[in-house]
Amino acid sequence: MALRILLVEDEQELAAAVQTVLQGQGHVVDHCGDGLEGWTLLSGELARYELVIVDWMLPGLSGPELCRRARAAGLELPLLLLTARAETADRVEGLDAGADDYLSKPFAMEELLARLRALQRRQPRYREPLLEEGPYRFDPQSGLLEVHTPAGVVAIPLAAKEQQLMAYFLAHPERIIPGSELRHQLWDLHQDPVSNVVAAQVRLLRRKLAAHGLPSPIETVPSRGYRFLARLPGEP
């Protein structure tokens, strides 16, 4: 299942490698190298993170302190702490601060991915439920979109970014969603703010539906954004 992940790591080479691996798994990853900036992103009004990977030693605010603030604020998302500290007392301190797991540096990327999968298994509340609205039914676990039509059910496998876009539309049916909001939620924060990635991805999703003989439920609202119409043409 694709996640929106916040990576707080000041070692630029390591951060770039982790971000590349996670994005290769279909995750959306925002990165910063300062603990205070990480806390600002995590606690922001538009924050929609589903998992945080945070280094122990950071400028501004340490990893354990960021974990403590997150728990004090009532945030229940999984927190994975990275550190070169290997003493038992350090591990205990990190876990007592609110971290769900602890990964010692240096580590293999395969182990990092395994730890993330384990966190997801241990916290099923973070698994996305089936999303249903009108004739549309999307399963985030399988990436399969089902559209119930008068002629029967049409099943469409979606690519990673198509899955994220469809899930967001189904979670906000009939609402006009600005393109800037979609960029913030589904793309790296460092993406060019005037990029046409949203329009391009919407076009790809519309073509995918058309290839299966279906009209697009995504309406373009000029100068305002997009609206997902959770009904087939002709339905009231």
Condensed to tens digits (0 to 9), the pLDDT of residues 155-205 reads 999 988 888 889 889 988 999 999 888 887 777 665 555 568 889 999 999
Q: For the chain, give the mean pLDDT.
A: 86
- Separation between Cα atoms, residue 206 and residue 218, nearest integer Å: 8
Condensed to tens digits (0 to 9), the pLDDT of residues 126-144 reads 455 688 999 999 988 788 9
Mean pLDDT of 207-224: 93
- Separation between Cα atoms, residue 60 and residue 48, nearest integer Å: 22
Residue-range domains of the chain with CATH: 4-126 (3.40.50.2300), 131-228 (1.10.10.10)
Helix H, strand E, coil C: the string for 130-143 is: CEEECCEEEECCCC
Cα torsion through 105, 108, 109, 110, rounded to 10: -140
- Largest Cα–Cα distance of the chain, in whole Å? 65
Mean pLDDT of 53-60: 94
Single pTM value for the model: 0.62
What distances in angstroms separate CA 36 from CA 54, 79, 214, one per listed residue?
12, 16, 47
Class of residue 91 by CB neighbours under 10 A (exposed 0-12, middle 13-18, buried 19+): middle
